[in-house]
Structure 1
């Protein structure tokens, strides 16, 4: 391809048009997300939290965190093991990570 002044001008103009088009699309999407967030009052973007995706698991985890036969509290690992024993596994089919259990208890 030749690098004539006309070819350079056309490339620059097309690049400017593409940049403008991308900016308008980004602005439209941002405005739509903002409208939806205001209308619903809920989170619009990102991964769903445990409380949104599986409220039953969070409820059980909180119940397990409160009870231990002789007082005290169960560890995060023990709660994860009990959830797995009751058939509640993460998205990959494995036992929950203790950090995931901590996030459930914090919500």
Structure 2
């Protein structure tokens, strides 16, 4: 079985993969690889401090039997904001406005003006 923790903020290395091996004969040897992520400790059972990417593991038991699997750690899109401004019509009016759109990250968002 496995538990995957995805990266919480784009660009960080907070992902994790926690696997549990059942069957075969211990002790087990682990060989992790990745083509697009980072943070691996290749011989460890569980992985922490991972960036977004795909990670593959080959597990070999004491009898030389092997099994392989792969796992994907994802991340949210980068947090971006865009906006439009409506100017006051006349000095002293209160009809101006700022309209913003927030994309990416993980909602709900908190705004502070």
Does TM, scored on the shorter chain, surpass 0.5?
Answer: no
More helix as a share of residues: 1
Structure with greater Cα Rg: 1
Length-normalised TM-score, structure 2: 0.23
More strand as a share of residues: 2
